[in-house]
A and B are shown apart, each in its own frame.
Chain A
Amino acid sequence: MSEYAVIGKSVPRIDALKKVTGEAIYSGDITLPHMLHGKALRSPYPHAVIKRLDVTRARALDGVKAVITAADVPGFKVKSELSCPEAPHLARDKAVYAGQPIAVVAATSLRIAEEAIGLIDVEYEELPPLLDTAEAMKPDAPLIYPDLFTNRFGRGPTGKDNTPGNIAWHVIFERGNLETGFKGADLVLENTYRTQIVHQGYLEPMAAVADVDGDGRITVWTQNQGLFTARGTIADFLEVPLHRIKVMPVEIGGAFGGKTYQLLSPLCVLLSMKTGCPVRMEMTRDEVLAASRPAPGASITVKMGATRQGRITAISLSMFFDEGAFPERPYSMNAALTGIGLYRIPNLKLEVMDVLTNKVPAGSYRAPAAPPAAFAIESQLDLISRSLGIDPLQLRILNVAAEGDLLPNGATLPRVGFKETLLKMADTLNERGKSGNRGIACGFWRGAAGTFAASLYVNGDGTVTLATGVADVSGSRTGMVQLVAEEMGLPIETVAIATGDSDTAPYADMSTGSRTAYSLGTAVVEACRDAKAQLIGRAAKILEKDEGEIEYSRGVFRVRGNPDKSITLAKVARSSLFSPGEGPVIGRGSVGMPPFAPMIAVHAAEVDVDKETGKIKFLSFVAAQDVGKAINPAIVEGQIQGAVAQGIGWALMEDYIFDKGVMQNTSLLDYRMPTAADVPPVETVLVEVGSPSGPYGIRAVGEPPMVPVLAAVANAIHSATGVRIKELPMTPEVILKALKAQEASSSKG
């Protein structure tokens, strides 16, 4: 018997109907009268000086209404190229990655825009590209930017370096004494792991429509992971005040961190300003793969010491991220904050660097930095467990952190469900019996917390409308409706949710870091409680009693001890529209960075490896996770299953294949993502150790299930074949090569 009316129920998603009928509107579906089509000319070279750029012939083509270059961007002469992260970086004197936009054309049709692109005269002088992080890090390496100064954080000198380089961020967290820690270990193991550049793989290509009216008011429709974040990026890029820009809500065809960047809308706005017409741009799939913001490649060296009994005494983790050509986001900060969160290790050093190269700039991807870090750490723990003859889950249980333990950055862990989830997985696996082909791995996600507001309007007929400004990337709308229905004690059919635009909606932070349900939920609950308090006051007035005597339940206000004296919520709401001295009932909630509520995911993969071809087949996949409180179990399961599929693609088949800095596999044939025939059914196990700070104990769910997949698969392959693979992707060719090498070395020995 559930303690809640609506929380914990898998109610159908409220946006599902529109999506199954094709009515849902995505940014690519927007058309406006007199709309022009934009197309970018992109650099074919990863590093080249732009000696000459002449757009005259393009401008003269019939149907072309405007051509812009970096010189048209406000502040072009004085701003650093490194300003306005997350906006399009129109090349100035040089192109720093293949695919970088050089000029953008707006024309009456896409066909004409493409033709115009062909008429732009560019003279490039190729420069040797920096394609290797090791090369780029050398002190005498050529500089990609003359004004990139390393940001340092953590142990050691903090702040910006004095001399420029190619390292954007350098973060160090330390505690205890590594040397002592390793000395106290019976086993010390060091390995280097490598993960590749991968794309978030959202199915909907980036698209944007912008319209600037005669008053200079800007309206934008585009995919984003935050209306207000998008507004801010556009404002920065164009040096326009925030209140002149309105970002409209649209459905988003997948994001996973990749759509926090506004790569098209600022260009559309600029073109609209110049032409007086709405302008639309859409990326082709080639452009999405080669020129949006994929996740960076990483090199991770981990050294761990363990006692014979399995206690980890020390860990040194050093990570280098290949950030590509612009330092959009500090991956290193994420890595440092999330790399070693699960375990109680007294002596540690975490050193992470973001290094620039002449490749497409890196962006966020579902639990940024955590999957590569976990790939290394969880592979290492697996090797340690094999070496010491300890069950891999037991090894985790032995070392797992708990409430009160310190994270590497010094923060204290609040109540977490780490041990509970590990034990639950152990039970689940025991039930299934032993398996020779199984690999397990854990993942930690600290969780982000954001700033959100919510308004609850109580309508004159007793229905309620929740207004938020949140971009729904994970089904959050449905969860919020459930929260309101629960808090207000109303049937779910009487609750509506309205996502406003950036003019009318209450402020919302980005929908990233798994902060939405958790942080927004807090604001929503606050708004509900505020509305209820106001309603109780009004009810008390109407019933001529003190507020303290009024009880509320399921849409009815009653006088305590006098059940005949009551009034419905609908009546109270209606009367509030006509009561002198009062106003409509509007509940307000506002939350600023609630405390974080860390999460754990524990995965167990079982594989069958064809030892003659290296091809992998999944026999099973179990994903356990502490979700705090699953507001909507079906939505939570769907999030987990999707993340596992993405992780499988990352582990086995996705890759960026470069030739001299130019991506070669820009189609969805050769950028291989898993089809339905490539992934197993994923069994989800939801553990609910409530967070002390989330409403109803909820924790975020979207990112943790991404974290352990890479290592779970690598560990399963090791179980099935005896081969340890430390570099991704683990394609059949890579696996076969490793099998053959193992064969060769064992026949020698």
Chain B
Amino acid sequence: MPESNGDKIELNIRVNGQNRVLTVEPYRTLLEILRYELGLTGTKEGCGSGNCGSCTVLLDGKAVNSCLVLVAEVEGKEITTIEGLSLRGELHPLQQAFIDEGAVQCGFCTPGVILTAKSFLESNPRPTETQIRRAIAGNLCRCTGYDKIVRAIMRVANQ
């Protein structure tokens, strides 16, 4: 039970299928811990305020902005980052679709939007294009204009 008075706390979390025990300050964000304590740099910081989606991870399966989650809040929870998406070396269909459709340019938004799309498709298997665009509205992309990203997601939905 991670309670503290400003000192470090012991945190038990499951990251990408692996149980981890960390000793960290509770006032750090999940994003910081993922990147600097666990070396999982695939999750990016674009704004720190929940407005760009580059820091998106799955928390108990749901897409969240990890820059707005305090590390103390994730005790006992399951976190999936982009690194955890490929299963035993095999790409997730979304990852493959992004490659095939040309939906990756600079790649900075890519991990976040793939994770958002993954969790969206799990509860919306037959989306319209408008629904996809609204679902990923919290993931800013400056390079692609979103066209090929939407196509990649639609491609997986239609599989």
Contacts and interface: CB of A to CB of B under 8 A. Distances in A.
Contacts of A23: 42, 83
B47 A204 contact: no
A744 interface: no
B82 to A, nearest CB: 4
Interface in A443-473: 473
A252 B85 CA distance: 23
A350 to B, nearest CB: 31
Contacts of A667: 47, 49, 51
B66 interface: no
B49 A13 contact: no
A28 B45 contact: yes
Contacts of A21: 42, 82-83, 85-86, 91, 95
B106 A204 contact: yes
B144 A638 contact: yes
B46 A204 contact: yes
A280 B101 CA distance: 35
A645 interface: yes
Interface stretch (B2-10, B69-77, B133-141): B133-141
Given A16-B104, A20-B110, A676 B142 contact: no
Contacts of A644: 145
B140 to A, nearest CB: 6
Interface in A368-382: none
Interface in A614-667: 634-635, 637-638, 640-646, 667
Interface in A406-424: none
Nearest to B102: A634
Nearest to A19: B107
Nearest to A200: B142
A254 B133 contact: no
Contact of A16 (B45, B82, B98): B98
A635 B105 CA distance: 8
Contacts of B105: 474-475, 638, 642
B100 interface: yes
Nearest to A20: B95
B106 A253 contact: yes
A673 interface: yes
A668 B49 contact: yes
B41 interface: yes
B42 A201 contact: no
Interface string A672-687: 0101110101100000
A19 to B, nearest CB: 3
Most buried by B among A20, A21, A635: A20
B99 A205 contact: no
A205 B51 CA distance: 14
Q: How large is the interface on B (under 10, 10 to 19, 20 to 34, 35 or more residues)?
A: 35 or more
Contact of A638 (B35, B102, B134, B142): B102
Contacts of A637: 102, 147-148
Contacts of A498: none
A642 B47 contact: no
A507 interface: no
Interface in B118-159: 129-130, 132-134, 136-150
Nearest to A678: B137
Contacts of B106: 202-204, 251-255, 473
A10 interface: yes
Nearest to A643: B145
A203 B42 contact: no
B44 A676 contact: no
B63 interface: no
B102 A22 contact: no
Contacts of B149: 676
Which among A16, A25, A284, A643 has the greatest number of chain B C-beta atoms within 10 A? Answer: A16
Interface in B84-103: 85-86, 91, 95, 98-103
Interface in A175-233: 200-205
B18 to A, nearest CB: 15
A676 B141 contact: yes
A673 B145 contact: no
B41 A29 contact: yes
A473 B108 CA distance: 12
A668 to B, nearest CB: 4
B44 A19 contact: no
Q: Give chain A's interface secondary structure class.
A: loop
Interface string B21-43: 00000000000000110001111
A272 to B, nearest CB: 20
B148 A641 contact: yes
Contacts of B138: 675
B40 A677 contact: no
Nearest to A252: B106
Interface in A673-714: 673, 675-677, 679, 681-682
B71 to A, nearest CB: 14
A20 B133 CA distance: 19
A633 to B, nearest CB: 9
Interface in A233-257: 251-256
Given A16-B98, A22-B83, A668 B47 contact: yes
B64 interface: no
B99 A13 contact: yes
B104 A10 contact: no
B142 to A, nearest CB: 5
A17 B82 CA distance: 12
A12 interface: yes
B91 A20 contact: yes
A205 B46 contact: yes
A676 B43 CA distance: 20
A78 interface: no
Given A20-B99, A673-B140, A203 B83 contact: no
A19 B43 contact: no
Nearest to A199: B142
A26 interface: yes
Given A203-B54, A475-B105, A668-B51, A676 B98 contact: no
Interface string A322-342: 000000000000000000000
B48 A284 contact: yes
B142 A681 contact: no
A677 B145 CA distance: 11
12 contacts: A10-B102, A18-B107, A22-B42, A26-B108, A253-B107, A637-B147, A638-B102, A667-B49, A675-B136, A676-B134, A677-B130, A681-B129
Interface of A: 10, 12-13, 15-26, 28-29, 31, 200-205, 251-256, 284-285, 473-475, 634-635, 637-638, 640-646, 667-669, 673, 675-677, 679, 681-682
Given A17-B91, A22-B81, A203-B109, 15 more contacts: A12-B100, A16-B104, A19-B107, A20-B95, A20-B98, A29-B41, A201-B142, A251-B107, A638-B144, A641-B145, A641-B146, A642-B105, A646-B142, A668-B52, A677-B134
Give 9 closest A-B pairs by Cβ, nearest first: A22-B42, A19-B107, A253-B108, A641-B145, A645-B145, A634-B102, A22-B82, A668-B51, A29-B41
